[in-house]
Amino acid sequence: MTTLDEAPLDVLDAYRTCEFVTLGRDGTPAAWPTAVRRNEDGTLLLTTSLAFAQKALNVRSDGRVGLLFSDPTGSGLTDAPQIFVGGRAECPDEIMTGPEGAEDYWRMLFERQPHSRSYVSAPVRWTMDWYYLRLLITVTPERVVVRPPFNVTGPQDGRPDAGPSPLPGAEQLSRYASAVLAARDAGAPVLARTRPAPTDGGYVMEVPADCAAVPGPASLLVHRHDELMNNMHNALARGRLETAGDRLLLVPEKVVEPMGSGRASDALGVLRRTKRATERYLERRALPRPKVRWDEFRALAAAARRGNGD
């Protein structure tokens, strides 16, 4: 038995993505959507590219992390319970240029995200090598909480009487039915899906009783993907969490959209940023740019295509 066995593992395995929170050097919790694979030993494996290495850097500074499985899009599940996993993560400073050690993870991605198979073949691969230069993050669960399904649908109501909210992040959050609060309890990061409402002072919200979020640095994450893990978008409103009676209030300070707003015109800018970020990671460590082992990735992608009957 492992800690993770306290969760409904078939449900956890069916989720296509989860929200993953780490702590920055200043203690600020920041969450991003990511794909996770459960290992047989009860640990969880996720990866990040060098272009988005902040998660890995945070883990190396403070291993306390949290994962929330709360968006069942693409899983085939109805009324899926939410699963929160708190634990500690490790991320070796080793750049993976092939799928070794994470074959099941990559096989899962190629099966669930068919469009990603094209990334490993010419001409697309010439612009996507940054995506396959990966760092592996392994999470050892220490706490599991199972919550009821979060079934609110439809975009936020906004403030029809007052017009659009001027709060940072209001435009992004208004497109989503809910958001995920990333905060801290007495020390560790916590996550909770909630329905924040804009007010003059910030976003007011309620969280489950088992989420002991306390005032301090916090953020609200919104993200989406379709049934085939395409058409992705994510945005993070960062700020400070305060109490507001029996509810919580996030006072936003800035908004981050790492992959742009989702417009087709953002693609070129994203490629430029990922290229520069990858180069910075390597330069700071005086490392040459590794070569991706494309043949190994292509073999896994081809096996996934055959397995899906494509």
pLDDT digits (tens, 9 = 90+) for 39-98: 999 999 999 999 999 999 999 999 999 999 999 999 999 899 999 999 999 999 999 999
Quick: pLDDT tens for 162-198: 557 899 999 999 999 999 999 999 899 999 999 999 9
Confidence (pTM): 0.93
The CA-CA-CA angle for residues 64, 229, 100, to 5°, reads 60
Question: What does the alpha-carbon distance between residue 233 and residue 226 come to, in Å, rounded to a whole number?
Answer: 10
Give tens-digit pLDDT for 126-166: 889 999 999 999 999 999 999 999 986 655 554 444 557 89
- Other beta carbons less than 10 A from residue 21's beta carbon: 27
Alpha helices in 52-179 (DSSP H): 54-61, 103-112, 129-132, 170-173
**Residues whose CB is less than 8 angstroms from the CB of residue 98 and which lie 6 or more positions away in sequence, other chains included:** 292, 293, 296, 297
How high does pLDDT run on average in the chain? 92
Angle separating helix axes 103-112 and 294-307, nearest 10 degrees: 50
What is the C-alpha to C-alpha distance for residues 191 and 65, in angstroms, rounded to an integer? Answer: 10
pLDDT for the residue 158: 47
